[in-house]
Amino acid sequence: MSFGGGLIHSVRIWCKRFLPSFVVNAIRFPERYLQSRKKSQRRKNSPPISLERLVSDIKTSGIGPGDIIMVHSSLSRIGNVTGSAETVIKSCLDVVTDEGTVIMPCFNSAEQVVKDMKSGKQLDLRDMKSATGIITETFRTQSGVCRSSHPFSSVCAWGKQAEYIVSGHATHEHVCHENSPVGRLVELNGKVVGIGIPIAQGLGVAHYLEDTWDKFPFNVHTSPFEVSYIDNEGNPVKRLVSRYDPYVSRTRIDYPEGAWIGEKLTNHLTNKGILKRFTFGDVDSWIMEAVPLYNELKRLAEKGVTMYLTEDRLTDQNRDVSNW
């Protein structure tokens, strides 16, 4: 990371930590607005992408009827899709068919959920919007889609195994426990798909390893705390949940400090043949089978290599990246 980039990131962390959220949002709104306008203009000026092309693109990844896929995506990077998010979703559903299942994360901010509860706001999954992009939010509201019971890490699913995949999320305090959607993705040997995003934004299987393997090198969770909310069927829920510790997560693969390990893991999984690339619309995308991914992440964790690893720790442990 350059000095300028590091300084900017440090300022952002300071602002998040010491300024009220409405002030931070007000500061960041102009930047986000301008970035969104630029991306939108680029999409409009590029050739249109049809449903038929997206269906063909997905098939090149090896996905077919009956497959169970967990899709992580970025609409703005796919290109000028005719029909926008609805077309992207339909392309996935058409390829796996009614015999398959499509899963998407519909996460929200744990910090915001805690603040809302403290202020007395009623949390209701029936109308709580997804914060993981317009594709997931559009998917959440479509007919036949069900949502798992979790106040800030819920998952939505459609298809043959949808109800089973979302049904056990409230049975344990951890996010990715054995009966969670990610746990059942691994159980059913599903596939993880990243459309226009780095693997850092689609490694729920790594969290499944942390949440279920008692020999994981260190604890990544906060102490459990009680939450109350309305689930997607309208039932009141009161339960304990834990979240991933923000202090531990600061060097995780999906944070700026974890960019190094993100690059190394991407190359490693590619060289192992676990991560395979394909093009979806105008963007580079990837696919990994959940079981081989889990097995390799566990093997690496046994050697002290996790998605939290920093270059300093690697040097201290005298580990050679080429020998992973």
Q: Considering the chain, what is the average pLDDT of its residues?
A: 89
Residues ≥6 apart with Cβ < 8 Å to 36: 76
pLDDT at 257: 82
Q: Is 22 exposed, middle or buried (0-12, 13-18, 19+ CB in 10 A)?
A: exposed
Taking the C-alpha atoms of residue 243 and residue 302, their distance in angstroms, rounded to an integer, is 23
Domain positions in the chain are 1-45, 48-323
Cα dist from 11 to 25, 239, 272, 283, whole Å: 14, 36, 38, 31
The residue behind tokens 């939108």 is: 40
In the chain, which ranges are E strands?
Answer: 48-49, 68-73, 80-81, 101-105, 146-147, 155-159, 191-195, 225-230, 236-241, 276-280, 283-289
> Which amino acid is it at 117?
M
Q: Does 146 or 258 have the greater pLDDT score?
A: 146
Taking the C-alpha atoms of residue 252 and residue 218, their distance in angstroms, rounded to an integer, is 13
**Cβ contact 210:220 at 8 Å:** yes
Residues ≥6 apart with Cβ < 8 Å to 321: 264, 268, 314
pLDDT at 317: 59
> Which amino acid is it at 269?
L
Nearest to 229 by CA among 105, 108, 70: 108
Taking the C-alpha atoms of residue 30 and residue 35, their distance in angstroms, rounded to an integer, is 9
Label the pairing between strands 80-81 and 48-49: parallel
Taking the C-alpha atoms of residue 118 and residue 138, their distance in angstroms, rounded to an integer, is 29
Mean pLDDT, residues 233-242 taken together: 96
Per-residue pLDDT tens for 64-115? 999 999 999 999 999 999 999 999 999 999 999 999 999 999 999 998 988 9
For the chain, how far is it from start to end, CA to CA, in angstroms? 24
pLDDT at 19: 64
User: How many CB atoms are closer than 10 A to CB 213?
Assistant: 14
Taking the C-alpha atoms of residue 115 and residue 112, their distance in angstroms, rounded to an integer, is 5
Taking the C-alpha atoms of residue 272 and residue 290, their distance in angstroms, rounded to an integer, is 14
Nearest to 280 by CA among 204, 205, 194: 194
pLDDT at 92: 98
Nearest to 138 by CA among 158, 161, 123: 158
> Which amino acid is it at 5?
G
Taking the C-alpha atoms of residue 278 and residue 143, their distance in angstroms, rounded to an integer, is 29
Nearest to 85 by CA among 140, 155, 128: 140
**Cβ contact 229:124 at 8 Å:** yes
Per-residue pLDDT tens for 23-77? 666 666 576 556 655 666 566 667 899 999 999 999 999 999 999 999 999 999 9
Label the pairing between strands 68-73 and 101-105: parallel
CB-based burial, 112-132: b 16+ in 10 Å, e otherwise: ebeebbeeeeebebeebebeb
The yes-or-no verdict on residue 318 having pLDDT over 60 is no
Mean pLDDT, residues 284-297 taken together: 98
